[in-house]
């Protein structure tokens, strides 16, 4: 019986397999530190996608649009002080700053900064496996980014808008609904989450 071998990138002769060939040919890029802030157990795919684009600075913000629209007068639909950008929207803008400042009060870890890159770095240090507050931190950050970007687009393209209070209520409602899907233990941390988010605990779940 003919056997085939493959010389791996390390120079070792190993049994031939498509898996080994793929491992040797693919580009091995080191795992980024912020990946666990975007993708974790319980993440929302829509929120994760937008946050991923934000971290990579790939959103179609006005500073990027201005490259091919040089004659357009662009300004932030929230504060009208300058054209929007990832840095401005999250959370340098006076409107988004109000939203983030309120949502920070719903988190137990108050040491988070006010610029998104610093926020993501601060959260990435703490693993979320089995840690309810670390999951809540991630949910809130991703929800803030998603709802602010949604609100920006609604104002720009649909000519409808909500106040910062309305947006905070929408984010809180979303996080509450997400927490209702979790199965949890009756730990002190879980009890604090329930208190902060106006929830009850029953049979290992949050409830209204």
Report pLDDT digits (tens) over 29-73: 677 889 999 999 889 999 999 999 999 999 999 998 888 777 778
| CA 206 remoteness from chain centre | 22
pLDDT at residue 112, rounded to an integer: 78
Average pLDDT, the chain: 89
pLDDT at residue 68, rounded to an integer: 77
Per domain, the residue ranges of the chain are 1-30, 31-207
Strands 205-207 and 13-15, by their bridges, are: unpaired
CA distance 172 to 103: 8
CA distance 50 to 70: 26
- Helices 132-153/94-104 angle, 10° precision: 160
Radius of gyration of the chain measured on its C-alpha atoms = 22
Per-residue confidence band for 127, with pLDDT thresholds at 50, 70 and 90: confident
CB atoms within 10 A of CB 201: 16
pLDDT at residue 91, rounded to an integer: 95
* Residue 40, CA distances (Å) to 106, 117, 128, 134, 137 in order: 20, 18, 7, 10, 12
The pLDDT of residue 177 is above 90: yes
Query: Which of 169-191 are b and which e, b meaning 16 or more Cβ less than 10 Å from the residue's Cβ?
Result: ebbbebbeebbeebebeeeebbe
Contact status, residue 95 vs residue 136, Cβ threshold 8 Å: no
The pLDDT of residue 27 is above 80: no
Mean pLDDT of 79-88: 94
Burial of 127 (0-12, 13-18, 19+ CB in 10 A): exposed
More confident position, 10 or 113: 113
pLDDT at residue 156, rounded to an integer: 93
Per-residue confidence band for 98, with pLDDT thresholds at 50, 70 and 90: very high
More confident position, 171 or 3: 171
């Amino acid at each position: 019986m003919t056997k085939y071998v493959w010389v791996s990138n390390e120079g070792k002769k190993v049994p031939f397999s498509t898996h080994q060939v793929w491992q040797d040919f693919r580009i091995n890029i080191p795992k980024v530190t912020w990946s666990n802030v975007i993708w974790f157990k319980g993440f929302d795919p829509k929120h994760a996608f937008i946050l991923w684009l934000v971290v990579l600075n790939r959103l179609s913000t006005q500073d990027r649009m201005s490259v091919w629209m040089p004659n357009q007068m662009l300004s932030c639909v929230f504060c009208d002080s300058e054209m929007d950008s990832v840095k401005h929207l999250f959370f340098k803008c006076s409107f988004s700053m109000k939203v983030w400042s309120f949502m920070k009060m719903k988190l137990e870890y108050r040491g988070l900064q006010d610029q998104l890159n610093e926020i993501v770095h601060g959260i990435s240090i703490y693993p979320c496996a089995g840690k309810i507050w670390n999951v809540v931190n991630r949910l809130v950050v991703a929800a803030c980014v998603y709802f602010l970007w949604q609100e920006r687009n609604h104002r720009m393209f649909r000519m409808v808008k909500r106040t910062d209070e309305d947006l905070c209520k929408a984010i809180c409602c979303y996080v509450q609904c997400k927490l209702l899907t979790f199965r949890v233990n009756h730990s002190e941390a879980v009890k604090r989450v329930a208190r902060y988010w106006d929830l009850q605990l029953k049979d290992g779940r949050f409830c209204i």
